[in-house]
Amino acid sequence: MTLRPPSADYQLPRLVRKCHLALEQQGTALSAALQEFALISPADGCPWEADVVTASRADEHVRAAQQRLLEWCQHQARLIYVNGHDHLTSMGRLLGGDGAMSLYAHVTLSRSVCEAAVRHAWLLDPSISYGERITRSAAMLSYNIGNRLKGARQGLGRGADSRIAQPIIAKCAAEFDDIHELIQHAGLDVVYDRNGHDVASVKLPGTGVKVPVKFETGPLMEELLPESPGWYLQSSGISHSATWLLDGAVLEGRGGPELSFTPDLMEVAAATQTAISASGLIIERHAAYYGFDPEPHVRKSRHRRGMLDALTREHRVKQATDPLPLMQAMP
């Protein structure tokens, strides 16, 4: 449901308008940082250079496959960067881009920005070894292609025209086999679950490095975005349509045929602040991996979040919910 003021005499609440502006600025900054980093050669001694050099010195029988896994890691990280930017800017459009705002969807987009940020940070973590990085890359590739194959079999296997379904399933199965052949050629072991059916983890023999293919976002959110404790669980309530969270936007009519809604402005601010912090993490980790200075960029991200902190405190003190112009009825 889109909420729009009833006439030109009303505006969206000030807090929402400021969230829109902050997201718009942060999206521009995220895009500009990526363009800036693309124009500058990585710094001497940076993690990217160390990985490339180590890959070039790997044993001849695994070298090409390991270099390919490293390239996949860096490629995935760039795509995740772009995905985070896309969700961030879309969130900004939902919060006043055309004078209206969403009721719930901005929370889901904020969650997606966070998921992109922690996956990106996990892949480009400057503190891990080359061996762990290519193992993480392999685990993420395995999980993604495994889900793609499952989706093809489940979505196309029920009542679908076999002339259409089978070539698609066969293509996904071939990609699954190719990825796991690449992983094994890189000298990594693919570990299956107890049933021997699904891939459970990827490990690098002789090193103790073992990475589960199932990515656990929640714990990384707590570690990497400590300014927003519990946000991943709270936002999941919106994504999964949990009544206890959806009910927070109901103004009146819980017992009748009609519902009147007004947005939870504190939730709008929390979603925006968390998305800004998450996109700042993307910039920080990308810069650190390639040897650039992230501080000029992340300083502005902190400033935007700080500005919203002040506005949120002001909103709480004044109890400025501003519900009447935004009320909407839904049968």
Query: Is the confidence at residue 11, as pLDDT, over 80?
Result: yes
* Contact assessment for residue 129 and residue 47, using Cβ atoms and an 8 Å cutoff: no
Report pLDDT for 251: 75
Residue 96's CB is within 10 A of a number of other CB atoms, namely 21
Q: Rounded mean pLDDT of 263-275?
A: 92
Report pLDDT for 83: 97
Alpha-carbon span 46 to 49, nearest angstrom = 5
Report pLDDT for 331: 37
Q: Rounded mean pLDDT of 155-166?
A: 67
Report pLDDT for 106: 95
Alpha-carbon span 211 to 221, nearest angstrom = 18
Distance of CA 136 to the CA centre of its chain: 17
Query: Is the confidence at residue 58, as pLDDT, over 70?
Result: yes
Kindly state the percentage of the chain with pLDDT values over 90.
63
Report pLDDT for 282: 97
Distance of CA 282 to the CA centre of its chain: 10
* Rg of the chain in Å (alpha carbons): 23
Q: Rounded mean pLDDT of 156-162?
A: 61
Burial class (CB in 10 A: 0-12, 13-18, 19+), 192: exposed
Structure tokens at 205: 């023999």
**DSSP label at 240?**
T
Contacts 24+ apart (CB under 8 A), 305-309: 305/227, 305/273, 305/276, 305/277, 305/280, 307/18, 307/22, 308/18, 308/19, 308/22, 308/269, 308/272, 308/273, 308/276, 309/273
Alpha-carbon span 112 to 88, nearest angstrom = 9
* β-bridge mates for residue 2, sequence order: 102
* Contact assessment for residue 299 and residue 247, using Cβ atoms and an 8 Å cutoff: no
Query: Is the confidence at residue 165, as pLDDT, over 70?
Result: yes
Q: pLDDT band for 255, please (50, 70, 90 cuts).
A: low
User: Which distant-in-sequence residues (6+ apart) come within 8 Å of 64 by Cβ?
Assistant: 185
| Chain segment 133-151, per-residue pLDDT in tens | 999 999 999 999 999 998 8
Report pLDDT for 254: 67
* Range from 7-16, 151-160, 320-329 carrying the lowest mean pLDDT: 320-329
- Phi, psi torsion values for 196, nearest 5 degrees: 70, 20
Average model confidence (pLDDT) across the chain: 89
| Chain segment 279-304, per-residue pLDDT in tens | 999 999 999 999 999 998 899 999 99
Note the pTM of the prediction, 2 decimals: 0.90
Report pLDDT for 324: 44
Alpha-carbon span 275 to 101, nearest angstrom = 17
Q: What angle do CA 90, 91, 93 make, to 5 degrees?
A: 65
